[in-house]
A and B are shown apart, each in its own frame.
Chain A
Amino acid sequence: MALPPTTPPTPPAAGPVVTISGLHKSFGDREVLRGIDLEVGSGEVVCVIGPSGSGKSTLLRCVNLLEQPTAGTVTVLGTEVTDPDVDIDQVRSRVGMVFQQFNLFAHQSVLQNCTLAQRKVLGRSRAQAEAVAMKNLEHVGLADRAQSMPSQLSGGQQQRVAIARALSMDPELMLFDEPTSALDPELVGEVLAVMRDLAQEGMTMLVVTHEMAFAREVGDRVVFMDDGSVVETGPADQVIGAPAEERTQAFLRRVLDPTHLQVGGPNGT
Chain B
Amino acid sequence: MSVLHVTSPHVRKPMTTNAVMRHVIYGTIPGLAVLTLLFGWGTLINVVFGSLVAVAAEALVLRLRNRPILFSIKDGSAILTAVLLALAIPPTSPWWITVVGILFAIVIAKQLYGGLGSNPFNPAMIGYVLLLISFPLEMTTWIPANLTEGVAASPSFSQSLALIFGSVDRTVIDGITMATPLDTFKTYAGNDLDMLRSASVLQGSIAGVGWEWVNIAFLVGGLYLVARKIITWHIPVAMVTSLFLLAGLFYIIDPDSYADPIFHVLGGGTMLGAFFIATDPVTAATSNKGKLIYGALIGLLIYVIRAWGGYPDAVAFAVLLLNLCAPTIEYYTQPRAYGHKKANSGIAKS
**A and B bind:** no
Q: A residues within 8 Å of B by Cβ? A: none
